[in-house]
Amino acid sequence: MARDDRSTDDRRSRAANRLDIPRELRRTLAIRSAYDADAFGRLSERIARFLGTGKFLVYMTGTIVFWVVWNIFAPENLRFDTYPFIFLTLALSLQASYAAPLILLAQNRQEARDRVQYERDRDIDTRTRADMEFLAREMASLRMAVGEVATRDFLRSELKSLLAELDREAPLGPR
């Protein structure tokens, strides 16, 4: 049994040194089936949308004002972040460091949607332009065909001239 393990290890080490044999795939710690990039993208868009609202600014301002007031006027033993407010600075930096990539991710997703919409609009524009050219050709052919068709006024004038000609040739009065 030990000999089989050693021979397998020897074959693997020899194969690893050869360039004409593909390497075995390495196992990774990431669980790929559990990660849904689209769900994470939707969540980041929701967060980015919320970060751009007045409601968020009011909540953030209220939190910071409460934080500062509490740490200035609360009893000494209840204060958790004294005057230079280092913990508050750390919390705001952490919030900003997470907000920036989430906003960028949301913008990238929006850009991809805009690109797809642009391509769709361009295809629709091309089809619409082709349809308009076809209709213009059809209208031109109809105008040419209508130009060859006798109009009501033309028929009236021809009938009047025929009646006038018949009146001239026909004898006057009863026979």
pLDDT at 20: 74
The pTM score is 0.53
CB 100: neighbour CB atoms within 10 A? 12
pLDDT at 13: 64
pLDDT at 37: 82
End-to-end CA gap in the chain: 138
The predicted-structure confidence for 92-138, as pLDDT tens digits, reads as follows 999 999 999 999 999 999 999 999 999 999 999 999 999 999 999 99
Chain CA centroid to CA 96, Å: 26
The predicted-structure confidence for 30-81, as pLDDT tens digits, reads as follows 555 677 888 888 998 999 999 989 999 999 999 999 999 999 999 999 999 9
Q: Give exposure, 149-170, as e/b (b: 16+ Cβ within 10 Å).
A: eeeeeeeeeeeeeeeeeeeeee
CB 48: neighbour CB atoms within 10 A? 20
State the chain's maximal CA–CA distance in angstroms. 139
pLDDT at 98: 92
pLDDT at 27 exceeding the cut of 90: no
pLDDT at 148 exceeding the cut of 80: no
Q: Which residues contact 105 (CB under 8 A, 6 or more apart)?
A: 41, 44, 45, 48
